[in-house]
Amino acid sequence: MTNSPQHDGLPNSAVSLGEQVAGIIERLPPDKLSLGELLDVFSDEGLLLLTILLTLVFLIPVSIPGVSTVFGAAILLVGVSRLFNRPLWLPQRIKDKALPADRLRPGLTAGLVWVRRMEKISRPHRLRFFVDGPGQGVINNLAFILAALLLMAPFGFVPFSNTLPALALLLYAIGFIQRDGGAILLGHLANIGTIIYFSVLIGGGGVAARELFQRLTG
């Protein structure tokens, strides 16, 4: 994979973002695929387009074991490559991990509705301060990396624990492509919402564990 993080624009401006992602989903193998094969499908179509595809499966109520770790790690490394302006590099173990394409395709297709919704509300070059302001590139890429880390958090069994950071990543990717500060701002808000939600989960779990311990030892 030799994509440069600078290639944020759509590979074909005449085709909508949703149509491009739908076309990539249609080209997936019928049963099994690896992340390396998925990267081959993307070729030079851009890291942000890859990010959008990888987030789709988390935007619907479906559970595919192991996907959040693999996809989250890939998105994290996309963020790192953008932050340091370097080509994407993935460990061979992540590239070669087999994924169930037959289970991924329905989830990806269902998640396309989110891309089309975001396309409708996104406006190119809106609120440019959040895109082009001093140091905004670094701040936004660090926020992108944070969202990827939150996606990898071990709360996959909890409702919306993957959905919120995936939504943040989708907003960031569309915001970067469209140079839309409004989408990026919404991504920041989704990140904050995820942190609050996780804090409540951790705090509530601690209280429940303490009460259980007290009952068992009381």
Q: Report the distance separating Cα 110 and Cα 112, nearest Å.
A: 5
Q: Report the distance separating Cα 98 and Cα 90, nearest Å.
A: 15
- Provide the mean pLDDT of the chain: 79
Position 10 in a domain: no
Position 2 in a domain: no
Q: Report the distance separating Cα 83 and Cα 165, nearest Å.
A: 19
Look at residue 194 in the predicted model and tell me its pLDDT.
92
Is 164:190 a contact under the CB 8 Å cutoff?
yes
Q: Report the distance separating Cα 207 and Cα 128, nearest Å.
A: 43
Look at residue 216 in the predicted model and tell me its pLDDT.
64
Residue 17 has pLDDT above 80, yes or no: no
Look at residue 214 in the predicted model and tell me its pLDDT.
61
Position 197 in a domain: yes
- pLDDT tens digit sequence for 175-212: 998 889 999 999 999 999 999 998 888 877 666 556 65
Position 24 in a domain: yes
The domain total for the chain is 1
- pLDDT tens digit sequence for 67-99: 777 888 889 999 998 898 887 888 888 788 777
Position 8 in a domain: no
- pLDDT tens digit sequence for 114-136: 888 888 888 888 888 888 877 88
Position 30 in a domain: yes
pTM of the model: 0.79
Q: What is the mean pLDDT of residues 46-60?
A: 82
Question: What's the half-sphere exposure (Cβ side, CA atoms, 13 Å) at 131?
Answer: 21
Give Cα 110 to chain centroid, integer Å.
Answer: 15
Token code pair at residue 177:
């492509």
Q: Residue 187: which domain range? A: 17-217
Position 6 in a domain: no
Position 212 in a domain: yes
Q: Report the distance separating Cα 100 and Cα 65, nearest Å.
A: 10
Q: Report the distance separating Cα 67 and Cα 103, nearest Å.
A: 11
